[in-house]
Homo-oligomer: A and B are copies of this chain.
Amino acid sequence: MYYGAIEAGGTKFVCAVSRGGAGIEARTSIPTTTPEETLKHVFAFFDSYTLTSMGIGSFGPIDVNTDSDTYGSITSTPKPGWGFFDFLGEIKDRYNVPTAWTTDVNASAYGEFRAGEAEKSGSCVYLTVGTGIGGGAVVDGKVLEGFGHPEMGHILVRRHPDDKYEGNCPYHADCLEGMAAGPAIEKRHGQTGDRLAADEKVWEIEAYYLAQALVQYTLILRPEVFILGGGVMKQTQLFPLIRQEYKRLLNSYVDTPDPETMITAPALGDDAAVTGCLLLAAEAKA
């Protein structure tokens, strides 16, 4: 009997199985094309295992509101074919096992909480800084959801005094994602982040926005650990800059764990989400 996990990303799906715990016993990676095509490969992988339950961490926005008619669907995504696709329904129809259903970043937060950087802590926030910015959290042992799932990447930020870039979020222009995700770096500076590695000012501005976000999350959630992943965080020089700016902005107003260890890269690397999905599967009841 196996637990199944699906990390459903906009670029690729990662499917995995385990007989318990966080260890991945088999996995496959599938490019995200149409729902039909993608699920055909997902089913091919899982059909050869007897499943106990499934955990799914999906790109969003998704409907996590159990009272809603579209619970279990991906909602208003611009991705062709996936808008209001009943993802969870398809999985339940095929396997008829208990499932856990949350965002990819909540799954990552849960993976790091149970088996990674936050393993010894009571709470954490996981932030991915890539093509977009998305955040998940674990509070009181559970992934954080309310009327819907968090959209922490779209919080409002104060503009860096030297930053003239107008922002590229179609909803909010200069929200966090609009100012600090990979495409914003590229548009502001005319090159992708990996080619700007040596330009100090780029990372000072980036750290300013990300530190602001961590300050807001701290004052609202008081998490014990911040795990920062995604393509942009491959610029590891960001970590000390973010920690320094975080301390400056918070100005010792509240106690936090030491920012040197509190603000960190994922211990599970790219396996955070799929590990979280396996662990959520193991707890799935319906």
Q: What is the interface of chain A, defined by CB distance below 8 A to chain B?
A: 61, 122-123, 135, 139-140, 142, 144-152, 154-156, 158, 171-172, 212, 215-217, 219-224, 249, 251-257
Contacts and interface: CB of A to CB of B under 8 A. Distances in A.
**9 A-B pairs with the lowest CB-CB distances in the bound complex, closest first:** A146-B222, A171-B253, A123-B146, A147-B222, A151-B219, A147-B224, A171-B251, A148-B222, A155-B219
23 contacts: A122-B146, A122-B147, A139-B139, A146-B221, A146-B224, A147-B222, A147-B257, A148-B254, A150-B220, A151-B219, A151-B253, A151-B254, A152-B219, A152-B220, A154-B219, A155-B215, A156-B216, A156-B249, A158-B158, A216-B216, A220-B220, A220-B221, A221-B221
Contacts of A122: 146-147
A220 B155 contact: yes
A139 B144 contact: yes
A223 to B, nearest CB: 5
A215 B220 CA distance: 12
Contacts of A123: 146-147
A264 to B, nearest CB: 15
A83 to B, nearest CB: 15
A157 B192 CA distance: 29
